[in-house]
Amino acid sequence: MIYIADYERYIFILLGASKFAYTSFLFAATTAQTTMNKAIQDMSASVQVKVCINS
């Protein structure tokens, strides 16, 4: 049987872990964008334009 205090502690651990994972993901995404190859940036930009035009 799980007591309320244990359950709350478990939720806080989950929230802390997900917040940390989200922050690391954002950091990795922004770091990857700044170091990305110029050709890849141009290609992704053209894909985004095509998606906007088609939708």
Residue 50: per-residue pLDDT: 62
Select from 22, 14, 38 the least CA-distant residue to 46.
Answer: 38
pLDDT category of residue 47 using cuts at 50, 70 and 90: low
**Tens-digit pLDDT profile for residues 1-44:** 556 667 677 777 777 777 777 777 777 766 655 555 566 666 66
The conformation of residue 3, written as its DSSP 8-state character, comes to -
Residue 6: per-residue pLDDT: 74
Residue 41: per-residue pLDDT: 66
List the chain domain ranges.
4-54
